[in-house]
Structures are given as C-alpha cells and as structure tokens.
Chains A and B, each alone.
Chain A
Amino acid sequence: MPQVTLTVNGKSASVEVEARTLLVELLRESLRLTGTHVGCDTSQCGACVVHVDGKSVKSCTMLAVQADGCSVTTIEGLAAADGTLHPMQEMFREHHALQCGFCTPGMVMSAIDLVKSNPQGLTEEEIRHGLEGNLCRCTGYHNIVKAIAAAAPLMNATPAE
C-alpha cells in the first residue's frame, strides 16, 4: 500500500493507505481529525473543505496520495497555539453563522480562502457567489454572509494563518 507523507496542521504525518483512499478518509480515519466532515458523495456540499498548500480543496475529491508532500490545514489547525481563534471562527460565533455545526468547518475553510483570494474586499454578492460550493441547511446563509463580511477586514488587518 502506498505511503503518504504530509504535514497536517503543522505536524508531519506518514500514513500507509490504500491507493483509493480519499484525503478526507486519511484525515478522519487515520489521523482522527474528525472536524472535517463528509456531507455528500458528489463534491457538492463542501463540508469536507480543507486547505492544501493554502488553497481550499474538497477533501472528498482528492486522493490521499495526491496530497503526498503537501501541507494540509484543517479546522482543528486554525486557532493559534494559545487557543486564540482565527477571526473567521470568531465572526461565525459572533454573527450566529452556525446552527447544527456540521457544514461549519468546511464553510469556515472556504470562507478564509475566499477572503484571502480577494484582498481588495468582497461585496455581499461576491461572498454569496463564493459560497456556491458549500451547502448549509440550517442558517439560510444570511448570517454566514454577515460573518464573512465582518471577518474580512479583521483578516486583512492581521498576519496570515
């Protein structure tokens, strides 16, 4: 079985997996990082979004072997070592942008990449468009959009993750 060596949340990991293993399976099952969720089988819902080398990726759509040598950040790796939350996490809580919490990790990871990819700022319409790959069944998105709009200036004012 192939050996996959990667950095996850700043720590090196080396795991033997079946070649067909998905990145999300490696994270959830081999590394027990269960903050990344699986909500569909068709790359539609975005509950599994993580960052691979700084870009958001649906980890149900990437083979674990494709992440060999990569640096992966999951929801568990967002907060600072002292526990200080990432501004996006803070704003999700502040603006009641989550209810059941299941889509939240993927939503937060997508939102961070969206903001980072648009340093010039984002309109509400652009935020909504940018969230097309993430489904939420609880919130109606209203408060998620508000949280991202509020987090963007905070992120741009603080050093990158």
Chain B
Amino acid sequence: MDAAFEGIGASVRRKEDLRFISGRGNYTDDINRPHQMHAFIKRSDRPHARIVRIDTAAAKAAPGVVAVFTGADLAAIGGLPCGWQIHSKDGTPMVEPKHPVLAEGKVRHVGDPIAVVIAETRQQAKDAAELLDIELADLPSIAGVTDAVAPSAPLVHDEAAGNQCYDWHIGDKDAVDAAFAQAAHVVKLDLTNNRLVPNAMEPRAALGDFDPSTGDYTLFTTSQNPHVIRLLMGAFVLGLPEHKLRVVAPDVGGGFGSKIYHYAEEAIVTWAAGQVKRPVKWTAERNESFVSDAHGRDHVSTAEMALDPQGKFLALRVHTLCNMGAYLSTFAPAVPTYLYATLLAGTYTTPAIYVEVKAVFTNTVPVDAYRGAGRPEATFLLERLVDTIAHDTGLDRVEIRRRNFIPRDAFPYQTPVALQYDSGDYVATLETALKAADWAGFPARRAAAAAKGRLRGIGISTYLEACGIAPSAVVGSLGARAGLYEVANIRVHPTGSVSVFTGTHSHGQGHETTLAQLVCDQLGVALKDVDVVHGDTARIPFGMGTYGSRSLAVGGSAMVKAMDKIIAKGKKIAAHLLEASADDIEFKDGKFTVAGTDKVKTLGEVALTAYVPHNYPIDEIEPGLDETAFYDPKNFTYPGGCHVCEVEIDPETGVTRVVNFTAVDDVGRVVNPMIVEGQVQGGVAQGIGQALLENAVYDKDGQLLSGSFMDYTMPRADDLPNFTVATENTMCTHNPLGSKGCGEVGAIGSPPAVINAVVDALRDYGVRHLDMPASPQKIWSIINAGRLPVAAE
C-alpha cells in the first residue's frame, strides 16, 4: 500500500478537522472586535400589518443603548436585490416588489424586521427592544399558495395582482396536448412538496466594522459566498464600492443553501457600524432563524403522464404553484423554473413535456434554494408519478423505469426541456442498487415483518439532477443577473509550498482537504504543504461561492486551469535551468524533467528560481510563480443514480422506521471517497427528514406553528438507520476533472424513495399517494380509518 498517496481518489482525513474537534473553529459569533456593540432586531409578530406608529424614545433612553434605527432611518438605502429575473408566458417581467432592509409602512411576514436596537451588550439591546412602542394595524393575510391565488385573496403587495410574481412555462404545449389525445393511458397525480426550514446548526450572524481612518467597511458573516454578498450589498443596498468593502465568511456552520442569500441583517450591521463608528454584531437566536432564514420547497402540483399501451412515456404535463413568501429572496425565482421544470425529463426519454409554474407571494418567510433546490421537487414529482403509473396500470415499478430510461449509448442526450445531459448510465446505478438492497429478497422480509405485525414496504427512485452551476452565458439568457464561473489563484511559494485561494466556500464540505488533494495530484506537493484559503474577499481575487454542488466541478476546474499555467511557466523556467527547450520538458510528480534524460529540477527548485531570479529568462517571462484562472463551465453536470428505501410501519402507532437505505450515485470523478460518502449520508438524512419528519407549518393566516426545535422535527440519531452508500460513476465529459458534484444528490434522490416505500407498505389499505411528511398521525389515521385492508396477503 502506498501510504503517502494523497491525490485524487485517496480518503485522506480532513485537514480542517483538527481545529473543529479541539474547539478552535472560528465562526462568526466567535469573532469579537474592540469596542464592539450588539444589535437586537425587533421583528413582526404579525403576518401582515400596517405600521401605524413606532415610538423609540423609551428604548433609546434604556441603559447601554447607543442607537435605535427603523425603516425611516434606512429609507435612503436600497432594498435587498433579487439576482434572477424570470419573464412570464406573456413576456412581462416578474413582479419584483421592494424588499426593504427594515420594514417600510407594512410588515408582510412574521419575522419581518421592524427596528434594530444597538447597545453595549446583547442583553441590553434585547431589554431595550421590549421598550419599543410599536403600533401595528392587522391586515388580512394568507400563507398557502392555493389560498393566495383565490380570487378574493388579500394582496401581499399592491403591485402584484392575484399575488402573482410570475406565470411561466417551458416546453411544447401543442406536442404534449397531441400526445395526450393519442394516449392509451393517462395517469394523474396531485401532490405537494412540503415546506422546510434549512436549519444549519450555526445560526446566522453578522458583524459589521468600520474604519474611520480609511472609510473601509468589513463584514464578517455566515455566508456561502462572500464575494456575492459584497457585490449585492455594496452595489445595490449600501452604495459601497468593492474596494471599500471587505466581506469575510470565516468558518461557517452549515448552509444547505440558506446562507447563499444576502440578508437584511448583513446590511444593517454594516450600515450601523458606519453610523455609530463602532463594530456592531448580531447573532440570530434560533427562533429568529426560523422566521428569517429563507425556507425551502413549498410546491403544490398536478402531474399527468400520457402512456402508450406498453407503458412508454409519451408526454408529461405539469402545473405547479410555488410559494415565494413575502419577498423575493436572492435566487428564489430561479428555483421553481430553471432548477425544477428543466429537470422533469429525469432519467426518461419522455419526448414531450410541458410545464407551467406560477409563483405567488404569501405572508410567509421568503422561500429560496434549500439543498437540491428545485431538483428534489422535480424528482419527488416524477418518481411519485412513475410509481403511481405502476399502481394504476399494474406494471412493475422497476420494469416501467427500465422501459423508459435514456439508454447508456444515447449521450449526449437532448431533453425536451432545454438541458443536454453529457453522460450517465441509469441501468448501472439501478442494477447496483437493486443488488445492494437485495430487492429480490424483499417479499420474504415483508412476510417476516407481517408475522410480527409490522407493515414493510420497499421503494425506489431513479433520479437525475443538474448541478456544477453554471455556464454564465446560458444562465444569463435565462435571467441570471450574475455570471457563475469560478476563480482560483494558485500561489507556489519560494520554497515550494502552495496556497490555494478559491472563490468557493467550505461550510462543511471539506474543501481544505479535497481541493488540496487536487494540488497533490497535479503538482506533486504533499498535502501538509498545501493550504486552501477561502471566504475572504480581501485575500481571494473573486468567486461566486458554494451552492449547486459546484465547488469541485467548477472551482476545482478553475484550479486545474491555474495549475496548468503554473506548469507551463515552470517548464520555461526549468528549460532555462536545464538548458533545454521548453517543449522537451515533462512535468510529473512534482519534477520537471528533460524528456528521455535524467536531468531534473523539482517544483521547489523552479519556484525558488522564480522568486530569486538571478539565473532566469527575465526577458521572456516575469518572476514569480503565482497564477489565477477563471473557469466558466461549458454545461451543467448531471449526477444521477438510484436510491432504494425499505421501511417498517408499526400499525399500532403509525410510526415509520427506515430499516434499510441504499444510495448508488453517479457523481463523476471522486477525489475523496470518504468525503463523498459523508456528503451523500448527510443529504439522505435531510431527504428522509423531509419525507418522514420535517414540516414548516403555517396556520392559514401566516403564523409559523413549527417555529422551534420543540415543534419542527429535525432528524435525530435514533430516527435514522445506517445507510449503504456506493457510487457507480461515469465521467463528466466537459470539465477537466470529470467530476459532477455530490453535495445534493442525497437530498434529491431520497424523498420519493421513502414515500414510495411507505405507499408500498400501505398498499393493502388502498393508499395511492401520501404527501410528505408521512407522519405517524397521518399513517395511523389511514390504518385506523375504519376499513379493513383492501387485499390482505
């Protein structure tokens, strides 16, 4: 065994772990600046109300209070911008109401910030906030999408008639209608995708600092993309140019999408630091996280599939209502359109697809991307529909999938909904998963469970997703207001150690290890001699951050490009030192060699020469060994796979236990198998959470009923089984690493596998569909509905 192997494919232990297991992580709330003050934000406890009056006098007079600000004080600064514009079917742009940093005139959801109190201590700020005299006049409100589009529904924004943000579509409606007219069978399913709260374990925090001597601002924040925050907050909210604003995202305790967006609190503390000329820190309490972090999912859909007599899919028609919440979060409009509807071909050859998506405003927290972002919604719809087709037609669940799979020799494959898949092998992941899950042996396990009085079911999901986000020109044409390339700066130091400055951001993904392994592999440098720097706009040239499983596929590819430049320059330096032609220099394992000779210079020797250029081709090349590359991907990447879930239900309690879970995913080239496995396990846990436990419940007016960990059921250790995780990879064809991404596959593939298993377990009770979460109460009610099983085995 090669103990020293640390390159691509090695499960090396994580470099970042030492500080985390020793309590030496450096999260935003761990940072304290001299003379720092604390902000407490007074939020609306009403879903919709007119602000009649705010009297801040008593709060301002409270001990330790330095300032109190309301929307009126911030009227001169901009609203929180939206980063993606969707156009409706009729060509009109989406309705994009102002999203004020502090509420102006009205509050529109529980949690909407009204005022900020800044004091010497957190407790003083909190105490003083109790003294704010705020008069609110309640207005009629709505929380659910179906209520929001009712003709008599109250309006969240006066300018959004019918509460509509946009009414968008994709696909060939005529072709779909024609196919439905010819179909042997049509199977229709109504379903909802439950609203979720991301709940990263680290609550959001922000610390603003202002240096009066230079006029420079610094924001420390819990962000997945500090450069994006600098751009959005600097340019659109506060009017600060990039060179006067530094954004630092230090250790960040989980994101799952919820820390992509530019939030009001970031602007508040930065602006307030400039006002009071002292650092201002805000840290969310968990109850604030529930009502201010962007939520996820929340779709209500109808799906219909037209089939030929053999069960081949002829056409798919989908109508979806999706909840935007009270304001547009940074990337919200893109999620139910280009990250959802374009995924509805899935792994299948469905030749005609037509999708209508209506996005609506409600008096709820804004909804945006949460792990998977649109793709779990698409996968849940499609994979539930396929199982329902099997249920209605009597065809076998696995067979129907095989009949409709895109064959492995059909790539590149153009779907009818815009995407072109570059690679995949859905039969391979299916076969491996069926074998690993012992699908064939299930009837015996079902019978054994039945003998113990338990209901056992098995479910499958064969999914596809699009990540590695994203080709800039493509997303630009679809409404993105940003490019989605990535940036890497590789600095080979004079003695041969390497710093990587990446525009991606690690908040649990292990970039400090995985990205360092790319350097080990390409430059032949030991892992201990490579540091990955991320999360600081002052140190990193630029970057778009981490989301959409893009860090390796896009950020890693930028590194490869930068290292190619290092090698090309190093060859010229080595050629000079070795008195050879650069064309004759080969680079391998950290050594420059004259081809066919034993003449060699190490990377370290070349680096030293580059920085001490006494004997150097100075007329030809510059000193130094430091290269930057921007990489814009040519396409999305397309991970896919097969998840199999086996559940056992206790009919006495309605409690569902996941007893086996098998995930076989195609994530392309794997750099660190240990980390990939961990990513999939975590994603699957969130998917099982959505399917069985988690639900953001609003009452009909917009009060969040599941607003704490006492009420919102987070998956705990004893809710989950051991997972069987494997990969069956085909390479991405358009990036230099062949990697596709693994951060979201677990959360995308798993929810329908779980629900398909629950429905299978309940098949004798005539259950055709069950919406998530499949809670004990829901299942108990089905079992105890007063009817006997329809077909006892």
- Write the residues of chain A forming the contact surface with B, with a CB cutoff of 8 angstroms: 18, 20, 28, 32-42, 44-45, 47, 74-76, 78-79, 85, 89, 92-94, 96, 98-105, 108, 124-125, 127-129, 131-132, 134-145
Contacts and interface: CB of A to CB of B under 8 A. Distances in A.
A139 B509 CA distance: 10
A75 B679 CA distance: 25
B682 interface: yes
Contacts of A141: 685, 715-717, 720
A45 B678 contact: no
Q: Interface of chain A, helix or strand or loop or mixed? A: loop
A102 B254 contact: yes
Contacts of B508: 99-101, 138
Contact of A20 (B123, B202, B682, B722): B123
Nearest 3 Cβ contacts at the A-B interface: A35-B23, A102-B253, A101-B20
B90 interface: no
A47 B199 CA distance: 13
Interface in B272-290: 285-287
A143 to B, nearest CB: 6
Contact of A127 (B16, B29, B717): B717
Interface in B207-229: none
A144 B709 contact: no
A129 B719 CA distance: 9
Nearest to B507: A100
Nearest to B672: A96
Contacts of A20: 123
B30 A34 contact: yes
Given A101-B253, A139-B681, A142-B723, 4 more contacts: A35-B25, A41-B285, A44-B709, A89-B22
A5 B718 CA distance: 38
Given A41-B285, A101-B20, A105-B23, A135 B201 contact: yes
Given A128-B718, A143-B678, A99 B510 contact: yes
Contact of A104 (B21, B123, B252): B21
Contacts of B709: 40, 42, 44-45, 135
Interface of B: 13-14, 16-25, 27, 29-30, 32, 123, 199-203, 251-254, 256, 285-287, 507-510, 674-675, 677-679, 681-686, 708-710, 714-718, 720, 722-723, 746
B203 A39 contact: yes
Contacts of A93: 13-14, 17-18, 21
A101 B708 contact: no
Contacts of B17: 92-93, 98, 101
Nearest to A89: B21
A99 B509 contact: yes
A132 to B, nearest CB: 5
A140 B723 contact: yes
A132 B714 contact: no
13 contacts: A35-B22, A76-B22, A89-B21, A92-B17, A93-B18, A94-B13, A99-B254, A101-B21, A102-B25, A103-B253, A128-B718, A140-B684, A142-B720
Given A94-B13, A100-B200, A127-B717, A79 B22 contact: yes
B286 A136 contact: no
A9 to B, nearest CB: 10
Contact of A37 (B199, B202, B675, B746): B202
Given A45-B709, A100-B201, A131 B716 contact: yes
Given A85-B22, A92-B21, A102-B25, A44 B708 contact: yes
Contacts of A76: 22-24
Most B-side CB within 10 Å, residue of A76, A78, A98: A98
